[in-house]
Structure 1
Amino acid sequence: MDKKLRSEHLHECLRREVLMSAKKFSWFRALHKAIKCPNRRFYFWWRIASYWHHSDSRFLKKRAAKINRKLVFKYGTEIQLGAHIGPGMVISHHHGIVINGSAVIGHSFRIRQNATIGITGADVNKEPASIIIGNNVSIGACSCIIADKIRIGDDVVIGAMSFVNKDIPANSTVYSEKRLHVIPNKLHAE
Structure 2
Amino acid sequence: MQIAIADKFHIPAIDDTVCIREEQADAKCQWVKIKLKNSIDSFCFSFDHLRKKSELDPALPFLNPEIGGLCTQNDAILVCQKQTDIYVLLIELKSEDKGKYLQQLKSAEIMIGFVVDRLNASKNPEFSINKDKLQFRGLLFRCRRTSSEGTTGKKLKLSYQNREGLLVTENACHQTYHVNQFLP
More strand by share: 2
TM-score (norm 2): 0.26
The structure with more radius of gyration = 1
